[in-house]
Amino acid sequence: MNAQRTVRIGSGLGFYGDSWQPVRASIERGGVQYIGSDHLAELTLAILQKDRSRDASLGYARDVLPMLAELYPLGRERGVKFLLNAGGLNPRGAGAALAESFRKQNLHAKIAVITGDSVLERVDEIVAAGESLAHLDTGASIAAVRERLVFASAYLGARPMVEALRQGADIVLTGRVADAALFLAPLVHEFCWSWDDYDKLAQGLTVGHLLECSGQATGGNFGGDWQKVTDIAHMGYPIAEVGADATAVITKAPGTGGLVSFDTVRQQLLYEVHDPRNYFSPDVVLDMSTLKLTDLGGDRVEVKGATGKPRPATLKVVGGYHDGYMGEASLAYSWPDALKKARATADIICTQLQERKVAHDELHVEYIGHNALFGAVAEDDDAEDLNEVFLRMAIRSRDKKVAEGFRRMFPWLALSGPPFVTGGGIQGATELIGIWPTLVTRELVESRVTIDMIEV
Amino acid sequence: MKTRLNRIAHARSGDKGDRADIGLFAYDAQTYDVLKREVTAERVAAHFRGVATGKVERYELDNIWALKFVLNAALQGGGSRSLRIDNLGKTMGAALLRMEIEAPDSLPRLGAEKRR
């Protein structure tokens, strides 16, 4: 391998529903060789599960089809490869649908499909093998939710993806994998890093973590001097230039909007991280406290110095279980006394819920325009003279009928409640999903991982 | 002098299960020392009383002038069961930036604002 060689990886989607338009610039002008695309937030599997329960061929992130129909031909001539966790709960279904879509467009590709992350069907077997699958935070027994589980997937690491790339895949489709592993895999593949070269793996994981949330590393959702982030209409997604020694530069395609600076990069570095000295992944444990970030100017930030420790003996599993239903409604009140009127209406609803003995587990009241985002942290300084306030109420119940019927408690207030009221909205029952994080001995999962290659 | 954190720091928040996490970033080393002294886990827990019911953990990253706060039991059980409009705690970083602390008026950002 040429020691001077640089591998360029670009960010794809940061969630199911994200825009892939900025990826075009990374391919056309950013010189990327790989795109890693993260379609799965923690609760996305809850959404995909609803799809799958309607139609067994679904359960994957469907945006992968139009996304690759547009981007794959663009990248094909440049040799760009794609790694995507869009398989969700059904990587094989995603692979079949993608192959079908490519055939129709007369596109040719080697598509690798990685399965084995889902353990839902194996919970009893895994418990019988001596694993507790207890809740990671509370220690509660899995028995409490066993019958209500709707998905349970382990976070796989980079190894199967590296193997898929070695076998010549142009597109790697996975289910649940550690988000950052989508980016670590091509680096391990290209540079032939050893699986016990922990510092290099830690650097690769850092790069992946910085790229897994699309525009959040290039000035999107930047909770600082956000007005310094220019031309968001033409947002550039992050690109990492990585050397064989694992030193990386985070940048974006020339001519795109956004901002890559010390501030925008370090915001993303700590995003959704618990202990920065022990950032767990299936491949390595990263210590961020040794990192050195240097702003080189011109939308370039150098990242080096990550240190790594051996991977854990367990994989993280996140399960979701049915946890009742939510019903919600909102009403809009104008000045004068907007907040007072909204509060009076909430009291009226509470009285009726009590008198009618409506069985519910929780009632949530928030005042949009006053405290819906900050809750108890909101300050009251201007509460007396607000132009307008939306009352939003949400109810949680195990009984779907209660959640469904909640919205019917509101319309009469338009004529019989406090004055200057309009608009708002009502929503029938929405299924709620509780999250069950746990650990499993990795061999129990990894021994079942498979790679299928589809040639189209 | 008293100042809100947003004049001297920036933040981003996210979620994992029922935990909210907030990164708080100083613009300079001098301010970072003040944040370390003033924005303790206990103060953050008090600030979020009524929102987060669990323990607050704090991690220090001297290499990037940042503090990481993890708020346990902060999201009504987690984003996919929460009844809140901000079910993922995306705005909790802003809620932290609203906190008022005691800071020397010699801090670079505070001085810069006075000169304006």
Asked whether residue A423 carries a pLDDT value surpassing 90, the answer given is: no
- Among B21, B80, B91, whose Cβ lies nearest the Cβ of A432? B80
Residues 126-145 of A with CB under 8 A from B: 137
- pLDDT tens digit sequence for A267-308: 999 999 999 999 999 999 999 999 999 999 999 999 999 999
The whole-angstrom separation of Cα A319 and Cα A321 is 7
What pTM was computed for the model? 0.96
Q: Does A324 reach chain B within 8 Å, measured CB to CB? A: yes
Q: Is A449 at the interface with chain B, CB within 8 A?
A: no
Q: Indicate if the pLDDT at residue B114 is higher than 70.
A: no
Residue B56 · residue B92 · CB < 8 Å: no
Q: Could you tell me which CATH number the domain at A321-433 has?
A: 3.30.70
Q: For residue A240, which phi and psi values (nearest 5 degrees)?
A: -110, 130
Single-letter amino acid code for the residue at A70 = E
Q: What angle do CA A189, A193, A197 make, to 5 degrees?
A: 150
Q: Per the CB < 8 Å rule, is B81 touching A324?
A: yes
Mean pLDDT for A116-137 is: 96
Q: Do the beta carbons of residue A148 and residue A320 sit within 8 Å?
A: no
Shortest distance between the Cα of B43 and any Cα of chain A, in A, equals 13
* A30/chain B closest Cα distance in angstroms: 27
Q: How far is B74 from chain A (nearest CA, A)?
A: 11
Q: A336: which strand partners?
A: none
Using pLDDT thresholds of 50, 70 and 90, give the confidence band for residue A424.
Answer: confident
**Which residue bears the tokens 């790229």?**
A211
Q: For residue A89, is pLDDT > 50?
A: yes
Q: How confident is the model at residue A384, as a pLDDT?
A: 85
Question: Is A392 an 8 Å CB contact of chain B?
Answer: yes
A160: enclosing H helix or E strand:
helix A159-166
| H/E element, A188 | helix A181-191
Chain B environment of A227 (Cβ under 8 Å): none
A270/B contact by beta carbon, under 8 A: yes
- DSSP-derived secondary structure letter, B54: S
Query: CA-to-CA distance for A157 and A149, rounded, in angstroms?
Result: 24
* Chain A to chain B Cβ contacts (< 8 Å): 150
Q: How far is A374 from chain B (nearest CA, A)?
A: 6
Predicted pLDDT at A443: 97
Nearest CB partner across the interface for B78, out of A263, A275, A435: A435
Contacts of A376 in chain B (CB under 8 A): 48-51
Average pLDDT of every residue of chain A: 96
Domain layout of chain A by residue ranges: 6-117+155-312, 321-433
